[in-house]
Structure 1
């Protein structure tokens, strides 16, 4: 473009007007940047509410589009400021050549844009945008509630899962890691009725046989009643104590066992995992608010919530889930709902009940008799065996997708 055209463009505006326009564009770009940074840190819908559960999925893509639009607007404003400043400086420095004038203009505007971005970040961190919005009666917190970074990751994970971009194994591992703060040791503990324990009054030979017959290396030691735990016996400590001794019968099992570690059943898995790592222990006994023994939890139990079942050559093979030829499952009532979901890829709710039997009792609002069947959550649950007040075995069948399933709050007997 000839120099006289640049000169004509320059003469149309006064120098202070050009400077004010460039500063105004840079200020507008900084404002958009501050709004973008503020929205990036702003709160989103509460996932605990019914609206928040779907709101997370709606808010994330909408928020991404808004942030993208603000980012593009910021770039356009900075570009416009650079072009206008270059036009003005070219008119002034035309005698030094187009390249020199344009280079100086772009360099000056780029430096100003960097300073504006830095000021925008400071303004966003100081809450200046919220204060400005508040002056006109607009408050960001009126539109959403706080959403932690874990809940935002979960929302993004759900979106990626819908697109099929996350392998099922990795999705379960990430989901299990995020669930650690929401679950308690009560949800994953081994119930006291299934604990393998050692009587401190047994002869040493009997204790050795019990330890060798157990798939576990750590066993609680009780005295008098199984609820009176006085220690935890490690197999290595036992064999180390009896090695080289002729009079093994005189070994005090209680002295060999380590002191028991009791934790409340309301402890979150995240806190318990941190406690295991801090104390360098793998084993804890779970008690309720009255101090009564509820069960035990191990480091492996928590890790299995993240990576899935961890098996070795000494683990008991039976899991309590036996597939049948007709597509149904024979399930022990004590099988955790989360384990069944993980094994079968289902989504049965586990908020109100830990085990499959507990889920049926919760939905039925009663303890069913053997032979009763219920349909809920897209499945049919038939009670096969009941022992006293416990559901021992069930048959679980997934209903065909074509069958209409009502969202029942209290299941109907089938």
Structure 2
């Protein structure tokens, strides 16, 4: 060692220390960037032909080998540095306890700042950008050091076995639904808002029941065959639905589903009777109101059906569900206006929004970015009445779900019109 200090000039010794610090920082940055890299983003880059991403992805398939290379190199350098700096200090200033302490503190400071903290912060901040470039350097090292790595990893695997840890099981861990949801939420720079909302709605669909997206009984259009034939024909001519539930006097008892297109083809017959329409009826399909939407969507696909009637535990019809209702829950309404909403625009310039009492809470949440509770009543009228516990007899305001609501119009049956006041950002959360 003395020969080294005597033969090398001081500037060369200082340059060697700087080089080792930089090399140690390089391996620290490589370790952090590799581990912090988004695997899905790297996979997408590799599939698009990015060679560096493909190399990095290959390295991450064997994390044990990758970490062994980086840690062995980094720790060897960090072991040599204190010895080198201390040797230089003792050679220049003699064997003094104070000199030894200062040298130790100096090298510790240099390693912490330039070999650990700074490189790791940079590696974490620009993980993918750095890892796809560093992979070209690390990959050859894994080949050169393969015998040493095999020895080290065999020893590590033995220790993990003694502790009851299975590395293969750790590698097989998959991403949970909540983790995937978080990835979608954080992907605002890569996925458009519309596409991101569709993906989030798809996650929510797992927890939604058919009763949440159905057309309520009060809004269903039903064809009554007990009425005069002229009235039946008139209703069919002005109907804007493809299919209609049909009753025979009792609207609570649906006897079939009529295809409006087929019914209209009969209208040229002057001797048209109710029996002609009865022959076109298809058997109604009933589903419990607690059926999950995902299960019902699968049924629609497998049986090539598009409409079902939702019933409660007593068999009473509560509403109607179509395949389009489920699709609209995913991608939004097809029409230019939401049923139950006064206007299509978002918040007015004065921070208000005027809505009908029959407005669906899910649609309001989606349209206005609110967090109104949807685990109880499904309409704005129902939500306010649940809060008040009575039908109001005068204009008043109520705050529900962080939103101030002014009741504008009501009658003996419920609330008809409500003015919503836009909540502050912290209240909306």
The interval holding the TM-score normalised by the smaller chain is 0.5 to 0.7
Q: 1:291 aligns with which of 286, 301, 315?
A: 315
Q: What are the within-5 Å matches in structure 2 for residues 220-299 of structure 1?
A: 220-240=245-265, 242=266, 245-249=269-273, 251-299=275-323
Aligned partner of 1:76 in structure 2 is 67
Say if 1:384 and 1:395, in contact at 8 Å, map to a contact too.
yes
Say if 1:204 and 1:251, in contact at 8 Å, map to a contact too.
no
- CA RMSD for the aligned pairs? 4.3
The count of aligned residue pairs is 297
Aligned partner of 1:202 in structure 2 is 227
Using the TM superposition, give the Cα deviation of residue 160 of structure 1 relative to its aligned residue in structure 2, in angstroms.
Answer: 3.3
Using the TM superposition, give the Cα deviation of residue 396 of structure 1 relative to its aligned residue in structure 2, in angstroms.
Answer: 1.0
Using the TM superposition, give the Cα deviation of residue 343 of structure 1 relative to its aligned residue in structure 2, in angstroms.
Answer: 1.8
Please give the alpha-carbon distance, in whole angstroms, between the structure 2 residues aligned to 1:320 and 1:377.
19
Please give the alpha-carbon distance, in whole angstroms, between the structure 2 residues aligned to 1:130 and 1:370.
74
Tell me if 1:308 matches 2:332: yes
Deviation readout 1:227-273 (Å, 9 max, x if unpaired): 11001111122134x26644212643222111101001001111111
| TM superposition score normalised by structure 1 | 0.60
Q: What are the within-5 Å matches in structure 2 for residues 374-393 of structure 1?
A: 374-393=398-417
Aligned partner of 1:132 in structure 2 is 164
Unaligned runs of 5+ in 1: 1-35, 41-67, 83-102, 135-139, 141-145, 408-414
Rg larger in 1 or in 2?
A: 2
Please give the alpha-carbon distance, in whole angstroms, between the structure 2 residues aligned to 1:147 and 1:187.
31
Please give the alpha-carbon distance, in whole angstroms, between the structure 2 residues aligned to 1:305 and 1:181.
12
Say if 2:340 and 2:360, in contact at 8 Å, map to a contact too.
no
Aligned partner of 1:156 in structure 2 is 183
SS in 2 for 1:380: strand
Using the TM superposition, give the Cα deviation of residue 77 of structure 1 relative to its aligned residue in structure 2, in angstroms.
Answer: 1.4
Please give the alpha-carbon distance, in whole angstroms, between the structure 2 residues aligned to 1:155 and 1:406.
19
Aligned partner of 2:421 in structure 1 is 397
Say if 1:211 and 1:217, in contact at 8 Å, map to a contact too.
no
Residues 327 and 130 (structure 1 numbering): CA distance in 2 closer, same or farther, change over 3 Å?
A: farther
Deviation readout 1:22-58 (Å, 9 max, x if unpaired): xxxxxxxxxxxxxx9xxx9xxxxxxxxxxxxxxxxxx
Aligned partner of 2:395 in structure 1 is 371
Say if 1:370 and 1:384, in contact at 8 Å, map to a contact too.
no
Aligned partner of 2:121 in structure 1 is none
Deviation readout 1:104-141 (Å, 9 max, x if unpaired): x948938x96xx89xx9xx9xxxx9798159xxxxx9x
Q: 2:341 aligns with which of 316, 320, 324?
A: 320
| TM superposition score normalised by structure 2 | 0.58
Residues 364 and 210 (structure 1 numbering): CA distance in 2 closer, same or farther, change over 3 Å?
A: same
